[in-house]
């Protein structure tokens, strides 16, 4: 897993920094305009979000500079933190204590070790087969059968979403794409950029012209205007960046559309879980955004599908 830093990587990095400068400037101007309580709150949150983006982008760049392994470690830590947030609000019982220990300290590291060592065969089945069988076994040994199926399913789902799905993003670095050798860093960059841009653009479209709610009972912030505007503009962005990928412009458009639609699906499902548990955010680690899981929800759903599409159509 070695990554090259070519001129195209420079363009991507420069472009993201330029966008952040623009966003910071816009936030500064908006904050100077007079407005009521609600307006000021929205702008304060917007600026907190932009500030957190600078931080996240810096961390992501630094991880990429390590030449691959840093990105695997970064996504591994992200999974760990997401799992922590997810299981904190999930109802488990004392009988699951040792199972949870395994989930955090054995299963999660092993999954990322499989990414780092490019052991695809085991990477693809380790959690859905072996971890899924192990979880109820370890819990049943404690002899507590109350809500057993629910507890088991909760821990399995937590591992699936927070660890298995997220690990498909750094796994993009392990794909052998003919004519694209050593350039997979750009593919990971491209993927994360399109997913997150889709979130940001849906937020912007929703805030500026959102009216008709899609599923008001699940997420009052998701509107048809935000969804359509966000998906279309993020797809456009993904298409315009085709030169950084192994795709043709049309392929890049199709890939971006899939990424953004699944990103929306992820955000919706993870919102439903929050509603069910009666919380607004998964955590408070990222100022303005909420928890790690609040930022990763769209990536969880799109990473495995994007990975499979690239692997099936673009590798030998």
Partner 1 sequence: MSARVAFLIRLLTGANARWLGAEPVARQRIYFANHTSTLDAAVLWAALPSHIRAKTRPVAAKDYWSSGRLRPWLADHVFRALLIERRKVTAENNPLRAMLAVLEAGESLIIFPEGGRFSGPEPQPFKGGLYHLAKDRPKTELVPIYLENLNRILPKGEIVFVPLLGSITVGKPLRLEPGETKADFLARAREAVWCLRLT
Residues contributing to the site for partner 1 (CB under 8 A): 80, 84-85, 87-88, 92, 94, 97-98, 100-101, 104, 283-284
Torsion angle of C-alpha atoms 84, 89, 91, 92, degrees rounded to 10: 20
**Least gap, CB of 160 to partner 1 (angstroms):** 18
**Least gap, CB of 94 to partner 1 (angstroms):** 5
**Phi and psi (nearest 5°) for 118?**
60, 40
Identity of the residue, 267 or 291, whose beta carbon is nearer to partner 1 in the bound complex: 291
- Residue 23 and residue 29: Cα distance in Å, rounded? 10
Partner residues linked to 261 by β-bridges: none
Q: Are 11 and 244 in contact (CB under 8 A)?
A: yes
**Least gap, CB of 85 to partner 1 (angstroms):** 7
- Residue 188 and residue 75: Cα distance in Å, rounded? 11
The CA distances from residue 101 to 113, 152, 172, in Å, are 18, 14, 28
Partner residues linked to 286 by β-bridges: 290
**Least gap, CB of 86 to partner 1 (angstroms):** 10
Identity of the residue, 140 or 232, whose beta carbon is nearer to partner 1 in the bound complex: 140
**Least gap, CB of 167 to partner 1 (angstroms):** 19
- Residue 72 and residue 84: Cα distance in Å, rounded? 18
Identity of the residue, 46 or 100, whose beta carbon is nearer to partner 1 in the bound complex: 100
Q: How far apart are the first and last CA of the chain?
A: 17
Which pair of tokens denotes residue 222?
């998701």
**Least gap, CB of 290 to partner 1 (angstroms):** 13
Identity of the residue, 39 or 105, whose beta carbon is nearer to partner 1 in the bound complex: 105
- Residue 138 and residue 183: Cα distance in Å, rounded? 42
Identity of the residue, 38 or 278, whose beta carbon is nearer to partner 1 in the bound complex: 278
Identity of the residue, 28 or 157, whose beta carbon is nearer to partner 1 in the bound complex: 157
Q: What is the DSSP string of 257-269?
A: HHHHHHHHHHHHH
**Least gap, CB of 115 to partner 1 (angstroms):** 21
Identity of the residue, 185 or 283, whose beta carbon is nearer to partner 1 in the bound complex: 283
Which pair of tokens denotes residue 312?
């099936």
């Amino acid at each position: 897993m070695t990554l090259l830093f070519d001129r195209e990587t420079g363009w991507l990095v420069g472009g993201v920094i330029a966008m952040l400068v623009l966003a910071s400037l816009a936030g500064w101007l908006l904050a100077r305009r007079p407005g009521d309580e609600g307006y000021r709150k929205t702008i304060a949150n917007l600026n907190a979000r932009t500030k957190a983006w600078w931080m996240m982008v810096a961390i992501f760049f630094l991880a990429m500079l390590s030449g691959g392994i840093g990105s695997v470690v970064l996504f591994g830590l992200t999974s760990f933190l997401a799992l922590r947030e997810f299981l904190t609000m999930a109802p488990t019982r004392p009988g699951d204590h040792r199972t949870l220990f395994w989930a955090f300290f054995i299963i999660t590291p092993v999954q990322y070790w499989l990414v780092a060592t490019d052991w695809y065969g085991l990477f693809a089945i380790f959690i859905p087969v072996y971890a899924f069988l192990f979880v109820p076994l370890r819990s049943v040994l404690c002899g507590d059968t109350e809500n057993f199926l629910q507890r088991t399913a909760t821990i399995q789902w937590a591992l699936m979403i927070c660890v298995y799905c997220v690990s498909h993003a750094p796994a993009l670095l392990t794909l052998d794409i003919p004519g694209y050798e050593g350039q997979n860093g750009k593919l990971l960059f491209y993927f994360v950029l399109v997913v997150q841009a889709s979130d940001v653009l849906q937020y912007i479209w929703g805030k500026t012209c959102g009216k008709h709610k899609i599923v008001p009972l699940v997420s009052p912030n998701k509107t048809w205007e935000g969804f359509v505007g966000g998906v279309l503009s993020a797809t456009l962005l993904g298409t315009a960046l085709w030169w950084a990928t192994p795709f043709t412009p049309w392929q890049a458009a199709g890939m971006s559309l899939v990424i953004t639609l699944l990103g929306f699906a992820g955000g919706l499902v993870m919102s439903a879980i929050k509603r069910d548990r009666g919380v607004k955010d998964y955590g408070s680690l990222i100022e303005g955004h909420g928890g790690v899981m609040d930022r990763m929800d769209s990536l969880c759903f799109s990473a495995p599908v994007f990975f499979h599409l690239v692997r099936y159509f673009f590798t030998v």
